[in-house]
Amino acid sequence: FDDRDGWIWMDGEMVQWREANVHILTHALHYATSVFEGQRAYSGQIFELEAHTNRLFKSADIIGMDIPYSREVINQACKDNLIKNGLVDAYQRPVVWRGSEQMGINTKLTKVHVAIASWEWPSYFAPEAKLKGLRLCMSNYRRPNPETAPILAKSAANYPISCLSKEAAELKGYDDALLLDWEGYVGEATGANIFFIKGSEIHTPSLKCVLDGITRRTVMGLAQKRGLTVVERNIKPEEMADFEQAFLTGTAAEVTPLSHVAGYDFVVGQEVQNLMNDYEALVRDV
């Protein structure tokens, strides 16, 4: 992915894609001292840019990093990077990391760096799979307690469990995996939040150790507009038997119906389809 044309905003400058490199002794590469965002532009507008930038700053704060630019500078850099690359519909990845200024675990002598890359990335899950509903298996990993890991930050520190779970799921022929939380309640998928529908109620795990997804928040609003009652709570895995429909939300995944989660089957019903359409209409209508 590194050998291609394009421009990456790096520490205040637009750098050629191939030249946007870091040293092998980068602190973040060894100790996962980095945080990132994933945001999408639709028709030339970055959807919920301020919310993504705010979460980037919150994630950095959780792992004790001071971003050396203002939110306004980051927002402008995101917009400029999109334009510089001539993109209209795109995925964008801001990343903040500790550099190679020193190698000890102590972070004080490292500098905090920022980069923003943008590229075309149409659909995270295959469109056919999305229409039929994805199949999730149960991961062997659980989302840790926030006292065990900086789990509420969108930090590289938390993604090995996602990468391992995704890899294992695909090897078994599934599309993705569900991770429970450390207490055994339903958590989230490897890179998306999860929802369940029963009648006019829509249930989703509360935010005790899952990412505060920006698509999650948006879809909760859309569901309320449709007259659905949104319930955030602890959901036991066996309660999945009580629900008729299920879906994932995420910037990359958007609204993606599920047909199977760890032994339980779901239909791709009218409510999920309405929310998919509502989300699509909202992001295009900025």
CB 89 within 8 A of CB 120: yes
Q: Which is nearer to ligand PMP, 211 or 240 (CB)?
A: 211
Helix (H) or strand (E) holding 259: strand 254-261
Q: Which is nearer to ligand PMP, 126 or 207 (CB)?
A: 207
Binds ligand PMP (CB under 6 A): choice among 191, 220, 228, 256: 191
Rounded Cα distance between 197 and 214, Å, is 19
Binds ligand PMP (CB under 6 A): choice among 26, 155, 165, 215: 215
Rounded Cα distance between 166 and 187, Å, is 15
130: annotated active-site residue: no
- Could you say whether residue 211 binds ligand PMP (CB under 6 A)? yes
- Could you say whether residue 38 binds ligand PMP (CB under 6 A)? yes
Q: CB 281: neighbour CB atoms within 10 A?
A: 10
Least Å from the CB of residue 52 to ligand PMP: 7
Q: Specify the amino acid at residue 11.
A: D
DSSP state of 248: E
Pair of tokens at residue 144: 């840790």
Least Å from the CB of residue 178 to ligand PMP: 12
Q: Which is nearer to ligand PMP, 38 or 257 (CB)?
A: 38
Strand stretches in 112-244, DSSP E? 112-119, 134-143, 176-181, 186-189, 193-198, 201-205, 229-233
- Could you say whether residue 181 binds ligand PMP (CB under 6 A)? no
- Could you say whether residue 213 binds ligand PMP (CB under 6 A)? yes
Which of 130, 154, 172, 225 is labelled catalytic? 154
Can you give the C-alpha Rg of the chain in angstroms?
A: 19
The phi and psi torsions of 149 (rounded to 5 degrees) equal: -150, 155
Q: Which is nearer to ligand PMP, 217 or 260 (CB)?
A: 217
Helices marked H in the chain — which ranges?
A: 27-31, 49-62, 71-84, 127-132, 159-171, 214-225, 270-284
- Could you say whether residue 250 binds ligand PMP (CB under 6 A)? yes
Least Å from the CB of residue 222 to ligand PMP: 13
Q: Which is nearer to ligand PMP, 211 or 275 (CB)?
A: 211
92 closest CA partner among 51, 38, 170: 38
- Return all residues near 201 (Cβ < 8 A) that are at least 6 apart: 228, 229, 231
Binding mask 129-168 toward ligand PMP (x if CB under 6 A, else -) reads ---------------------------------x------
Binds ligand PMP (CB under 6 A): choice among 214, 228, 235, 283: 214
Q: Which residues make up the interface to ligand PMP (CB under 6 A)?
A: 38, 162, 188, 191-193, 211, 213-216, 249-251
The residues annotated with a catalytic role in the active site are 154
